[in-house]
Structure formats: structure tokens, C-alpha cells
């Protein structure tokens, strides 16, 4: 088997990354929420004000995995952190060590950038991922919950006076 090359994503990778993002939505049973477009992904990664960065894993000229990440900030640490939005490896590549390589590369980047933490979320039903992350030294924080406002609720929150809530 040809070795995998992990490298920074380029604009030429956007279509392949978008296809893998959809594969991730299928895996997570969340296709009804998937509205991302290649144009939006391109803008987020390479537009005038990039919101995120990505690395891809390539084997034989084909993108077989990706990691999309960005910086957040911890007021308690007084330092930025690295937040992993997505880590996806195609099923045919799972178990090959690719996920481990990508996580290690991201951890090294966080250390290089002097980040105070490296974090991400995982679905509570995805026990193989939870086990993998814990094996890598991560701690799953059961006392924290993701809070999200999206769609009409976001519009409403942005426009309604506080007294009407």
C-alpha cells in the first residue's frame, strides 16, 4: 500500500473535502442538516477572511481523510486553543493509523502555536471514536454540553428585544 501524505489543504482540494464532509454527515446520520456547499467551504478556508484551516490525507492522488480546525480562545488560560471541527477518515482507511497521525499532527500544531488546549466534540453514541480519543490521551467531559442556536432561532435571538423572550 502506498504511504499516505498529510498536508495542508489547498483550494484544489475543496471538492474532495466537500464530498468527504457529506460522507461524515451520512455516518453521523445528520444529512438533513447538511447544507454546506463547495463555494462556502472554499470561502471559509481560502476567502478574504478565512474562518478555518484544514489538512488532508492523500493516498495515490486521492483525498481519503481531512481535518478541519480553527482557533478559539480560553479566558481562563488567557491563550488561544485549537478546536477540531471535523476529523474524518474514509472507512477503507480506518484502522491504518491515519486518524492517529492526523491527531498527532494537530497536537503538534497546537503546541507550536502555543495553544493552551486542543479540543473537539464527539457524539455520545460514537463509542469507537470515544475509545480512540481516550486511548490517545483525551478526556471526554461529561459535565459539559454543547449549546447551539441556529436557523430561525438564531434570527429570532438576533432581532427580538430581550423583554419579549
Task: Work out the end-to-end distance of the chain between its first and last CA atoms, rounded to an integer number of angstroms.
Answer: 59
Which grid cell is 103?
491527531
Active site residue 133: yes
User: For residues 64 and 92, is the Cβ–Cβ distance under 8 A?
Assistant: yes
C-alpha–C-alpha distance, residues 92 and 28, integer Å: 17
Q: Which of 66, 83, 88, 133 is catalytic?
A: 133
C-alpha–C-alpha distance, residues 99 and 140, integer Å: 17
> Which residue, 105, 106, 120, 107, is CA-closest to 24?
120
The H or E element spanning position 65 is strand 62-74
> Which residue, 91, 93, 84, is CA-closest to 133?
84
Q: Which residues are catalytic?
A: 133
Amino acid at each position: 500500500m502506498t504511504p499516505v501524505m498529510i498536508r495542508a489543504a489547498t483550494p484544489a482540494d475543496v471538492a474532495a473535502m466537500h464530498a468527504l464532509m457529506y460522507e461524515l454527515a451520512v455516518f453521523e446520520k445528520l444529512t438533513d442538516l447538511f447544507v454546506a456547499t463547495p463555494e462556502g467551504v472554499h470561502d471559509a478556508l481560502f476567502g478574504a477572511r478565512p474562518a478555518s484551516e484544514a489538512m488532508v490525507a492523500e493516498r495515490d492522488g486521492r483525498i481519503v481523510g481531512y481535518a478541519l480546525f480553527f482557533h478559539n480562545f480560553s479566558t481562563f488560560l488567557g491563550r488561544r486553543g485549537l478546536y477540531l471541527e471535523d476529523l474524518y477518515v474514509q472507512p477503507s482507511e480506518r484502522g491504518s493509523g491515519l486518524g492517529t497521525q492526523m491527531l498527532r499532527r494537530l497536537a503538534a500544531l497546537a503546541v507550536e502555536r502555543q495553544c493552551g488546549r486542543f479540543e473537539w466534540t464527539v457524539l455520545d453514541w460514537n463509542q469507537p471514536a470515544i475509545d480512540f480519543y481516550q486511548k490517545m490521551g483525551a478526556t471526554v467531559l461529561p459535565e459539559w454540553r454543547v449549546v447551539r442556536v441556529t436557523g430561525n432561532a438564531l434570527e429570532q435571538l438576533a432581532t427580538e428585544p430581550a423583554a419579549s423572550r
